[in-house]
Amino acid sequence: MILSISSKNPLSHLDLVYNRIYLTQNYLGYRIMKILLLGGEGFIGRNIAETLPGNFRYYSLGRSPSPFRSNGDNFIKTDIYTDVIGESFDVYVHLINNDPGRELFLIKNINPDAHVILFSSAVIYANPSSEYAKRKQLLERVYSEHCKKLTVLRLFNVYGRYQIPHRQGSLVANILYNHINNVPIEINDMNAERDFMFAADIAKYIESIIENSLYGIYDLATGHMYPLKKLCAVMQKAMSLRLNIVELKQTADSSCPHASRIVPCNVQNCSLESGLEKTFDFFRKNNEILKELLS
């Protein structure tokens, strides 16, 4: 379902659509939690919406719907930095990479008693002096000062369905997209190590974090480091690929830290082989759409 709101048309009326559902649930003694995905049309948001179980009712806010969206959630077209959200939610999942200076308007729209899950980045460890890392650090600080129930998740290397190639952190997407389109795959350092997490697994962590009221700052990672040459070898073996790799032998930006404070959730992560196969299948089926998005 696609809906729209503006500063003159707040979100509060949307619950009328589900009022009968909520009344039935309350009568039976249980209630579906309401989750708002801020930036839910992006790569990670689409994976969360697709994978979260049915005991959550979730909405996705953004300026335009994803070309890959499913029917699992309701898209609400809005500018969250100018429009009043109006409705109160149990959980806010913040997936937007934006200027922290714009966040104060958004924070005022957030239910002060709600659980906020803020996505950050492991670049804070790897390159803390970079502008991107400074922006993430400031965002964490802003939300820690305003939210009573805050979970910060520092992402390492996430891959999976719905990822757009040639954007920050899109190594696996770049390899698969270039292979499918017969473009040489340039890699700086094949010995560089990374911690790879399949994006669909993130929803499992979100579910556990919400159900266990887990607050604090954590690393969202598997705890297993893979050299890029092993990643490519797994791709070639699992999917019978012959990758045209050009190693640039540039090691200046190849460092990646080990996750030191992994989210304490009992989650079974997808194997690297299985995750890569599912990702490759998505890229094969959606190559034309991806080409259009990159044009």
Q: Residue 15: give its domain's CATH number.
A: 3.40.50.720
Helix (H, G, I), strand (E, B) or coil at 15: helix
User: What is the per-residue pLDDT for 2?
Assistant: 53
**pTM of the predicted model as reported, rounded to 2 decimal places:** 0.87
Q: Is residue 7 part of a domain?
A: yes
255 pLDDT band (50/70/90 cuts)?
low
d(CA 242, CA 78): 44
Examine residue 166 and state whether it is found in any structural domain, yes or no: no
pLDDT beyond 70 at 67: yes
Tell me whether residue 208 is in a domain: no
Quick one: tokens of 247?
A: 């190693």
Mean pLDDT of the chain: 86
Mean pLDDT of 124-140: 91
Lowest mean pLDDT among 63-72, 86-95, 151-160, 201-210: 63-72
The DSSP 8-state label assigned to residue 252 in this structure reads: T
| Rounded average pLDDT over 60-83 | 81
Q: Once rounded to an integer, what is the mean pLDDT over residues 99-114?
A: 82
Q: Which residue has the higher pLDDT, 2 or 177?
A: 177
Q: Which pLDDT score, from 0 to 100, does residue 186 have?
A: 94
Best mean pLDDT range from 95-99, 125-129, 269-273: 269-273
Residue 250 has pLDDT above 80, yes or no: no
- Residue 161 lies inside a defined structural domain of this protein: no
Is 269 contained in some domain?
no
In a domain? residue 288: no
Lowest mean pLDDT segment, chosen from 54-68, 154-168, 246-260, 270-284: 246-260
Task: Report if residue 135 sits inside a domain.
Answer: yes
In tens, the pLDDT along 219-245 reads 999 999 999 999 999 999 989 999 999
> Does 280 map to a domain?
no
Instruction: Tally the domains of the chain.
Output: 1
More confident residue, 207 or 62: 207
Residues of the domain holding 136: 1-155
**49-56 — which CB contacts under 8 Å span 24+ positions?**
49/73, 50/161, 50/200, 50/203, 51/200, 51/202, 51/203, 51/204, 52/203, 52/206, 52/207, 53/207, 56/32, 56/207, 56/210
Secondary structure letter of residue 228 according to DSSP? H
